[in-house]
């Protein structure tokens, strides 16, 4: 026999924190249905009422009728519904756990890479103390190289001779 429910084992406040805003209405409706069910269960006694069969045996003149009813009443067992959903929920939870672990692993890798980048940046000289040579050594792709790649002032990409505007459609050679 299944154990009797005494109170709701759901922590609704913790559940509400995890539910997205667009699902709050569904959570509220589910909580109302759950509370209604719990009230209905608690309104009934956990065991069927006890019957004083001796009173009925004295009052009913038909022989064997009360004994027959008593036998049928005591043989009556209300079947408790079997749990068919827990295995599916457990399988779903295992998949979600794998996804969570993969996300945490990926996040930890990203954190380690970003902390390495932060350490590299902190190890550099502050910009206000750098010379042009220090900047070239730290950022060779961004530094000006007047000997190998000369540029026109103000040395931005759109001021150079080979600049192509990405917003303009390419001209066809007519």
What residue ranges do the domains of the chain occupy? Answer: 1-49, 94-123, 130-159
Q: What is the pTM of this model?
A: 0.42
DSSP conformation class of 6: -
Average pLDDT rounded to a whole number, residues 93-112: 96
Q: Phi-psi category of 155—alpha, beta or left, where left has phi over 0 and alpha has psi -120 to 50?
A: left
pLDDT above 60 (res 136): yes
Residue pair 127/134 in contact (Cβ under 8 Å)? The answer is no
Q: In angstroms, rounded to a whole number, what is the distance separating the alpha carbons of residues 37 and 33?
A: 6
Smallest Cα–Cα separation from 150: which of 138, 139, 162?
162
* pLDDT single digits (tens) 46-74: 777 888 888 888 888 887 888 888 888 88
DSSP conformation class of 158: G
Q: How confident is the model at residue 1 (pLDDT cuts 50, 70, 90)?
A: very low
Helix (H) or strand (E) holding 134: helix 132-138
pLDDT above 60 (res 128): yes
Which tokens in the block code for residue 102?
């993969």
pLDDT above 50 (res 3): yes
pLDDT at 26: 92
Whole-angstrom Cα Rg for the chain: 39
């Amino acid at each position: 026999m299944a154990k009797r429910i005494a109170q709701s084992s759901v922590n609704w406040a913790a559940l509400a924190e995890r539910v997205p805003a667009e699902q709050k209405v569904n959570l509220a409706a589910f909580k109302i249905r759950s509370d209604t069910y719990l009230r209905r269960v608690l309104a009934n006694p956990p065991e069927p009422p006890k019957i004083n069969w001796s009173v009925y045996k004295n009052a009913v003149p038909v022989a064997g009728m009360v004994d027959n009813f008593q036998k049928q009443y005591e043989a009556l067992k209300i079947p408790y519904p079997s749990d068919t959903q827990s295995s599916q929920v457990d399988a779903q939870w295992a998949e979600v756990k794998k996804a969570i672990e993969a996300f945490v692993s990926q996040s930890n890798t990203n954190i380690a890479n970003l902390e390495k980048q932060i350490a590299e940046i902190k190890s550099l000289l502050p910009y206000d103390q750098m010379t042009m040579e220090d900047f070239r050594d730290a950022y060779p792709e961004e530094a000006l190289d007047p000997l190998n790649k000369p540029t026109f002032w103000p040395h931005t990409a759109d001021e150079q001779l080979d600049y192509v505007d990405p917003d303009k459609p390419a001209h066809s050679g007519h």
